[in-house]
Structure 1
């Protein structure tokens, strides 16, 4: 019963975080690199705080679930997919610090995203792609039961890397269009 409640809390925290993340990303796209108004900045700050709390809840519930798994089955930690998920969530967590302390200040700057220099824009773009890919892939790993004790760490992380590279290429193309004055279909 306790493990089921923990898994449920873990699921709710993941849904909350990913839902807010997707809505916030769409809201940022609507600004098309221009300076954001105070309401949009406040929404970004509030949403990033909620996602941060959800991430803490995910770490706590996840570690307790793993501890229970180890008690139930000493071989629990031999699942390489589990270690890949730890890696992805660690990347996601470290990237979250970069988002909060580097990318968000540039997105909310008076000159807007496009008013920052090219190197800063590139770093913001990379942190955004790492965030989206990592959150979605970590959630996928949570439901990818067929990979348990079958998929190797290298395989799981290779899939993650390929998804990241493809996503980054798409984001770079969107960025190129944004910098050349392309008007987004999202208004």
Structure 2
């Protein structure tokens, strides 16, 4: 999608098969994430007891995976069908586009954050839940703003506004 936005070609449609494959891949990845997560947490909790769940890093991972799952439902139920119908992010209405960009930013950041928490053993018991999650909303806002700006630029470029602007400047100069 980013490649399509960089090209700024409104006639280029997203590959419907790619979106369908993406939907299946994300669904399988979420299932694998839940199955492996529940198995690992169950094993650790059986060894370490209920106090294991007081670990702020574990609480962060559980919260992010739950948000990722809810966001996945929104992507599958609303965003991907809209994208398949429209054929391009640029062809969505403004509110639909902003929703798609937001859910995309939440998805990307959540997968990244969950992976980082998964490998971040030094975070165990060292930081509070607030400290561990402090960067999460900042990264979501950053991802959203970046994609919104890229989309606005792509739409501007695709509409030919830059050429129209140059034309009016030349007319005004005569």
For normalisation by structure 2, the TM-score amounts to: 0.81
**Cross-structure match for 1:3:** none
Q: Check if 1:76 corresponds to 2:49.
A: no
Q: Which residue of 1 aligns with 2:31?
A: 56
Corresponding residue of 1:7: none
Is 1:140 the counterpart of 2:116? The answer is yes
Query: Which string of whole-angstrom CA distances, capped at 9 and with x for unpartnered residues, describes residues 90-114 of structure 1?
Result: 1111111111111112222245322
Larger radius of gyration: 2
The answer to whether the 8 A contact 1:81-1:156 is kept is: yes
Q: Secondary structure at the match of 2:150?
A: helix
Which of 157, 170, 173 is 2:146 aligned to? Answer: 170
Q: Tell me which residue corresponds to 2:165.
A: none
The total of aligned residue pairs comes to 154
Shift of 1:42: 0.8
Measured on the aligned residues, the alpha-carbon RMSD in Å equals 1.9
Cα distance, 1:66 vs. partner? Answer: 0.6
Normalised TM-score (structure 1): 0.76
Residue 114 of structure 1 aligns to a residue whose secondary structure is helix
